[in-house]
Amino acid sequence: MRVDLQANRRAAPNRRPAGRSGVPGKFQRDGCSRLASPAAFAELAGESAPPLSQNKQTIPNNNPQTPMTNTLVQPYLFFGGRCEEALEFYRAALGAQVDMLMHYKDSPEPPPPGMLAPGFESKIMHTTFRIGGTTLMASDGCAEGSNFGGFSLSLAVPTEAEADRAFAALAAGGQVRMPLARTFWSPRFGMLTDRFGLGWMVSVAA
């Protein structure tokens, strides 16, 4: 099982499996999106997945800059107060495994006064969890409400039966945007928005 980040086009397969998990670094006063220092997160290593088709055109790299060979891009999801519920949902639906979890009240460096909404002291400050070989990060953020517009997570599974099961589990309480069906690139492909507003694209890996 593989989860990739999609943003207006098919994203490259995730290039590294889970490793050590980091804890967000110094708090910032100008919003939750800057709670953590990137240097505090996981140092991961892995291999690229094979291409979906041998007929894909190879595009030459004309970028004069030095390639960022040790760079990792991972989705960081803000659930606006429902992170604990989301972790349990993905555990049941996809077998997600939590590697690390910290609540705001347990942080060695408390947030500045007024940064959190009332009652958010018991919410999740940072968590890392795995779905298959992919590590995702998440938080409750600083207040209620979430917005997952502009991207989807792509879930690739090895069989049609697994695609059917995962699609049905993720769609429970959510909305099907495109039912699972055969396409020219996969024997099963479908799109949905789950109960947390997070978009998913489910397919059988070619």
* Each residue's pLDDT tens digit, 5-31: 554 444 444 444 444 444 544 444 445
* Angstrom distance (rounded) from CA 193 to CA 176: 6
**Residue 193 neighbours by CB under 8 Å, 6+ apart:** 174, 175, 177, 199, 200
Return the sign of the alpha-carbon dihedral for residues 19, 23, 29, 31: positive
Distance CA 105, CA 95 (A): 27
Question: For residue 206, what pLDDT is reported?
Answer: 77
Judged against a pLDDT cut of 80, whether residue 49 lies above it is answered with no
What are phi and psi for residue 45, nearest 5 degrees?
-145, 150
Query: Across residues 93-117, what is the average pLDDT?
Result: 95
Question: What pLDDT does 20 receive?
Answer: 42
What pLDDT sits at residue 12? 40
Q: Is there a contact between 90 and 129 (Cβ–Cβ < 8 Å)?
A: yes
Distance of CA 67 to the CA centre of its chain: 24
3-state secondary structure of 3: strand
The model carries a pTM of 0.71
Does the structure show a pLDDT above 50 at 165? Answer: yes
pLDDT of residue 110: 87
- 191: pLDDT strictly greater than 80: yes
